[in-house]
Chain A
């Protein structure tokens, strides 16, 4: 029987090459190699690890945060961005003037369709009833760069924007892309999209929308108040607010935690505990790894029947997995 390469034995001694590990059980030379490597590792682990004292930890944290603050670059617009911004600003003026200047006859009580951000303009006291207007009427404003007026939909359910305490006078829908709101010479504008509301007063901002949500707000002049799930943030000129990334799915996070727990137990040789933890990691993000390592943990625990069953299930469930060949080899070694 051919011995595995030395680097595979290194992986085996770290618990990451089962086939090589199983081979070493029947090969004296490879077993000796694994034993020698394990002795070096045991010795190295016996050396006390450097410890960070509590006081030094606090000092370090302060220094790191201070260094980060000092590292924030001065606000400068990229050269090419000026042209884009100017174009967006021109388009924005068109939108703002259209909403305000034409509002007495062109208000629109409509709902934002899925995956589009709603642009809501608050009542200034001069608007006609939303139901009395028609967005498709001649003279209805065309919005810039991906923004488009929506058609009237009286039978549609009201959007979140429409049931706010201060009902907006007009709503438009903004498709994915950038739009600019210039509210320097108008009443304050409030943009509502799902869980995000942006209030622009005497200011000018550029919004970026994607997948029905406002993902970025760049304050060009003045300031904007951004409310995300009830938490308010004020962003000032020159700053960009970026929507935080969504938290991972709870199930995926729980599965990852279970897998990490299983992995720690596995490395510590607590195979029963490892199997139980791996079995809890059922989310697709980690299920493949968990199934494989649960099988290996069973083999290490000496439960050949369970190991064989788990390996068979693994190869059937993940036939093209990176470790599928390893699993098949391990299964062959375990025998019928």
Chain B
């Protein structure tokens, strides 16, 4: 039976700082706002970074997707089965990003996603700056599945088994997608077409 209505908190704020992710998720399932807040604080940076890299262009869209990810996570907290809360959040964010892209924006034009060269470190040489400036566009041009795996494994440094669990795919598929993503990026950055 799902908890109905809103319950009063079961713990003091001091306790929550020490609680594990699993314990916080269990408290979230009972509607504990303080637990939700704590879990949000723990993972919002990672989720925001992931969604930002997936979406790459519009800050408003990124914020909307981050918000939707946490709302969906808190709604379905009772269904969480592990093994990692962060990987689970990544899985939710990946699904929402895919749905959002399909419904709202489809594929962004590459020029919309090109990062500002001004944001790159000034010490980089011009060739490297040029390559780096093209990278976000190249990343955005990747198919969603390849982009998700590349960001999670290579940029967020998640383990293959966790990514597989989050995306509900076999671990072998994670590595195959990762290989294809890197290959496509390499070709794009070298001036070819993926």
Size category, B interface: 35 or more
Q: Which 8 A-B pairs have the closest CB atoms?
A: A50-B52, A245-B26, A10-B179, A7-B175, A239-B5, A7-B176, A52-B48, A11-B175
Q: Known contacts being A14-B178, A49-B49, A248-B23, is A218 close to B1, with CB within 8 Å?
A: yes
In the bound complex, what is the Cα–Cα distance between A266 and B100 (angstroms)?
Answer: 35
In the bound complex, what is the Cα–Cα distance between A239 and B31 (angstroms)?
Answer: 11
Cross-chain contact B120 with A48 (CB below 8 angstroms): yes
In the bound complex, what is the Cα–Cα distance between A245 and B150 (angstroms)?
Answer: 34
In the assembled complex, the CB of A37 is this many whole angstroms from the nearest CB of chain B, namely 5
Interface residues of B in 1-38 (CB under 8 A from A): 1-12, 19-20, 22-23, 26-27, 29-31, 33, 36-37
Cross-chain contact A61 with B71 (CB below 8 angstroms): no
In the assembled complex, the CB of A60 is this many whole angstroms from the nearest CB of chain B, namely 6
Cross-chain contact A50 with B49 (CB below 8 angstroms): yes
Closest to B161 in A: A16
Interface residues of A in 10-56 (CB under 8 A from B): 10-11, 14, 16-17, 36-37, 39-41, 43-52, 56
Cross-chain contact A7 with B5 (CB below 8 angstroms): no
Cross-chain contact B10 with A233 (CB below 8 angstroms): yes
Interface residues of A in 223-243 (CB under 8 A from B): 228, 231, 233-236, 238-242
Most buried by A among B8, B52, B176, B186: B8
List A contacts of B5 (CB < 8 A).
Answer: 72, 75, 236, 238-240
In the assembled complex, the CB of B138 is this many whole angstroms from the nearest CB of chain A, namely 9
In the assembled complex, the CB of B144 is this many whole angstroms from the nearest CB of chain A, namely 17
Closest to A77 in B: B4
In the complex, B172 has a CB within 8 A of chain A: yes
In the bound complex, what is the Cα–Cα distance between A48 and B19 (angstroms)?
Answer: 31
Most buried by B among A14, A39, A73: A14
Main secondary structure of the interface of B (DSSP, over half): helix
In the assembled complex, the CB of B159 is this many whole angstroms from the nearest CB of chain A, namely 7
Q: Known contacts being A14-B160, A68-B75, is A247 close to B3, with CB within 8 Å?
A: no
Closest to B69 in A: A64
In the complex, A270 has a CB within 8 A of chain B: no
Cross-chain contact A61 with B40 (CB below 8 angstroms): yes
In the bound complex, what is the Cα–Cα distance between A241 and B7 (angstroms)?
Answer: 7
List B contacts of A45 (CB < 8 A).
Answer: 154-155
Select which of A14, A47, A67, A75 is within 8 A of B67 by beta carbon. Answer: A67
In the bound complex, what is the Cα–Cα distance between A246 and B187 (angstroms)?
Answer: 50
Cross-chain contact A244 with B23 (CB below 8 angstroms): yes
Cross-chain contact B10 with A8 (CB below 8 angstroms): no
Q: Known contacts being A7-B172, A10-B176, A75-B4, is A247 close to B40, with CB within 8 Å?
A: no
Cross-chain contact B139 with A60 (CB below 8 angstroms): no
Cross-chain contact A47 with B52 (CB below 8 angstroms): no
Select which of A37, A75, A244, A247 is within 8 A of B182 by beta carbon. Answer: A37
Cross-chain contact B10 with A228 (CB below 8 angstroms): yes
Can you list 17 residue pairs at the A/B interface with Cβ under 8 Å? A7-B172, A37-B182, A44-B150, A50-B52, A50-B62, A52-B48, A61-B37, A65-B36, A231-B12, A236-B5, A239-B3, A239-B5, A239-B6, A241-B3, A242-B29, A245-B26, A267-B157
In the bound complex, what is the Cα–Cα distance between A46 and B129 (angstroms)?
Answer: 10
Cross-chain contact A61 with B6 (CB below 8 angstroms): no
In the complex, A91 has a CB within 8 A of chain B: no
In the complex, A86 has a CB within 8 A of chain B: no
Cross-chain contact A44 with B135 (CB below 8 angstroms): yes
List B contacts of A14 (CB < 8 A).
Answer: 153-154, 160, 175, 178
In the assembled complex, the CB of A35 is this many whole angstroms from the nearest CB of chain B, namely 11
Closest to B4 in A: A75
Q: Known contacts being A7-B178, A52-B45, is A72 close to B6, with CB within 8 Å?
A: yes
Cross-chain contact A71 with B139 (CB below 8 angstroms): no
In the complex, B74 has a CB within 8 A of chain A: yes
In the complex, B53 has a CB within 8 A of chain A: yes
Cross-chain contact B44 with A60 (CB below 8 angstroms): yes
In the complex, B185 has a CB within 8 A of chain A: yes
Contact with B along A59-102 (1 / 0, CB 8 A): 01101110111011101000000000000000000000000000
In the bound complex, what is the Cα–Cα distance between A253 and B49 (angstroms)?
Answer: 26
Q: Known contacts being A43-B132, A50-B62, A248-B20, is A64 close to B36, with CB within 8 Å?
A: yes
Cross-chain contact B131 with A41 (CB below 8 angstroms): no
In the complex, B189 has a CB within 8 A of chain A: yes
In the complex, B119 has a CB within 8 A of chain A: yes
In the complex, A9 has a CB within 8 A of chain B: yes
In the complex, A57 has a CB within 8 A of chain B: yes
Interface residues of B in 143-168 (CB under 8 A from A): 150, 153-155, 157, 159-160
In the complex, A263 has a CB within 8 A of chain B: yes
Closest to A39 in B: B186
Interface residues of B in 66-95 (CB under 8 A from A): 66-67, 70-71, 74-75
In the complex, B141 has a CB within 8 A of chain A: no
Q: Known contacts being A11-B175, A44-B185, A247-B20, is A71 close to B71, with CB within 8 Å?
A: yes
